[in-house]
Amino acid sequence: MTTEPDAKLIEQGRKLFAGDFHFIWASPSIETLPPMAGVEIAFAGRSNVGKSSLINALTGRNALARTSSTPGRTQELIFFDGPAQAGLRLVDMPGYGYAAASKAKVASWTTLIHKYLEGRSNLARVYVLIDARHGLKDVDLDVLKTLDRSAVSYQVVLTKADQIKKSELEGRITDVRTSLATHPAAFPEVLATSSEKSEGIPELRAAMVRLLEERR
């Protein structure tokens, strides 16, 4: 399903995310981003896909990022800093493709998302979250195109893996991998996660440790 990260990286990931992660900044617009510092990793995806929940699962905190069962919860770019020596910053993004919000709001979020993904030089990785039940949609493909254009490395992470059967999940992973073959900036591997059941969380932490090591 995914390449097995070694035990050492998993342990380093556990330690890194056992440290203190805290809110530092919220940006409603591209003009109000915080000064760049450290390695930034962003979580993008359709509204309600589970971005904020994944950040909470990674950091082991129930309410670091605000979650909600109704879409459109996160309305700004929310920045969280990790332990001081780690130099890691996580960014919870507003969701895209939320049909029930006003046209003006959707347009403003979409512009913010694309502008941020295009032009942030310390943005080291974007995790593009896809609901394991639904797979890639057109709005996701628009975001992948922006990431390909800006050459930001990204990886697809399936969420809510607890909601479908193992066999179905395997099929979904294969489908997404096939679609990613035509995207130059995409990681070929697809990670399956469940924030509810903590599945795939140690592996995702390990992937971020590896990225930090590469950036040092």
Among 44, 49, 112, 126, binds ligand GTP (CB under 6 A): 49
Residue ranges in contact with Mg ion by CB under 5 A: 51-52, 73-74
The entry of ligand GTP, Mg ion, none near residue 34 (CB within 5 to 8 angstroms by kind) is none
| Only segment of 10-18, 23-31, 51-59, 176-184 that touches ligand GTP (CB under 6 A) | 51-59
Number of Cβ within 10 Å of residue 18's Cβ equals 12
| Closest alpha carbon to 65 in 109, 96, 95 | 95
Give the nearest distance from C-beta 47 to ligand GTP in angstroms: 4
The entry of ligand GTP, Mg ion, none near residue 53 (CB within 5 to 8 angstroms by kind) is ligand GTP
Give the nearest distance from C-beta 45 to Mg ion in angstroms: 9
By the rule CB under 6 A, 68 interacts with ligand GTP: yes
Give the nearest distance from C-beta 47 to Mg ion in angstroms: 8
Half-sphere exposure (Cβ direction) of 22: Cα atoms closer than 13 Å:
5
By the rule CB under 6 A, 89 interacts with ligand GTP: no
Token couple for 66 = 């605000």
The entry of Mg ion, ligand GTP, none near residue 194 (CB within 5 to 8 angstroms by kind) is ligand GTP
Specify the long-range contacts of residues 115-121, CB closer than 8 Å, at least 24 apart.
115/30, 116/30, 116/33, 116/42, 116/77, 117/42, 117/44, 117/143, 117/146, 117/147, 117/150, 117/152, 118/146, 118/149, 118/150, 119/150, 120/33, 120/36, 120/40, 121/36
How far apart, in whole angstroms, are the C-alpha atoms of residue 2 and residue 199?
Answer: 12
Distance in angstroms between the alpha carbons of the first and the last residue of the chain: 29
Q: Given the structure tokens 């990886």, which residue do they identify?
A: 155
Q: Which is nearer to ligand GTP, 100 or 181 (CB)?
A: 100
Q: Which is nearer to Mg ion, 75 or 179 (CB)?
A: 75
Query: Which residues make up the interface to ligand GTP (CB under 6 A)?
Result: 45, 47-53, 67-69, 71-74, 94-95, 159-160, 162-163, 194-196
